[in-house]
Amino acid sequence: MNVNASFVAHSLSKGLTERAPGLSRAALTRTGFALALVACALPFALRLLLLLVPANAWPAYVLLFVVALALLALLTEVNYFGRAWYLTLLYAVSATALTLLSWNGHSNDVLEARGRWTEVTVVQITERPRRDTVCELRRTDDGTAVPHLLDDCADLSRGATLSVLEDPEGEVRPRRSAPNTVATDLAAGISGVVLVTGVTVAFRRGGRRHPPMPPPYPPSTNPGQPYPQPGPGSFSGPHDGRP
């Protein structure tokens, strides 16, 4: 019975699995480190692309699916080479955290990238049971309505004027203060370090179990004779059973 059958079944990269026995431990470790950097770059690339693609449009969900699929493929390799449940779990948690931070931090990124301060007037206040109070706003300069409602405005009154940070394209809701992305960036950085460490350790463990395979024949010193030939007295034909 193959005790590693469950791990082998979860490996998607057949080519990498076949080449692993021919790689040194250092080479396999470098391969894992490079793949980990790519895995870290994918959620950050998604975060940047969401500044160009609205998060509620179908292309954004396609990008999210592609990133999730690529991270899942690397998960199977961590599972195969690491052969340890805690390394697989560590990768899964850190990769999921990176993706969620990139997706959920979209509002902060939009306001930080293209938000502008606008003076507005409160024209309507709606108190929602068991939820925050929301306010409808109009711009003071031209009287046009702000596309989205303002959250958490129970301390305001109708007719009050204030400055809010709004998205000129109307994708996200306005805010009364500038977004703070320090906590998000710190959490993403920690998740990235954990991911890179876990993947590198997993591939290093795989290199310890798969030492480089020796060549099938000893190297020849004669260029015209690629492999050693049988010497005098040696027998190279089929054995017929006679002494």
Predicted local distance difference test score (pLDDT) of residue 8: 46
Beta bridge partners of 200: none
Q: Which residue has the higher pLDDT, 120 or 27?
A: 120
Does position 197 have pLDDT exceeding 60, yes or no?
yes
Q: What Rg, from alpha-carbon coordinates, does the chain have?
A: 30
Decide: helix, strand or coil at residue 153: coil
pLDDT over threshold 70, residue 41 = yes
- Average pLDDT, whole number, for the chain? 81
159 burial (CB, 10 Å; 0-12 / 13-18 / 19+) is exposed
Pick the CATH number of 116-166 from 2.170.130, 2.40.50, 3.90.660, 2.60.120: 2.40.50
List pLDDT tens digits, range 53-95.
888 889 999 999 999 999 998 898 888 888 888 999 999 999 9
Question: What CA dihedral angle connects 102, 108, 109 and 112, to 10 degrees?
Answer: -160
Whole-number pLDDT of residue 221: 54
* pLDDT for the residue numbered 38: 94
Q: Are 75 and 95 in contact (CB under 8 A)?
A: yes
Q: Rounded to two decimals, what is the model's pTM? A: 0.70
Q: What is the DSSP string of 49-76?
A: HTTTS-TTSHHHHHHHHHHHHHHHHHHH
Per residue in 128-179, pLDDT tens? 877 788 999 999 988 899 989 999 888 899 999 999 999 988 889 999 998 8
Q: Mean pLDDT throughout 121-129?
A: 89
Using CA atoms, how far apart are residues 84 and 90, in angstroms rounded to an integer?
10
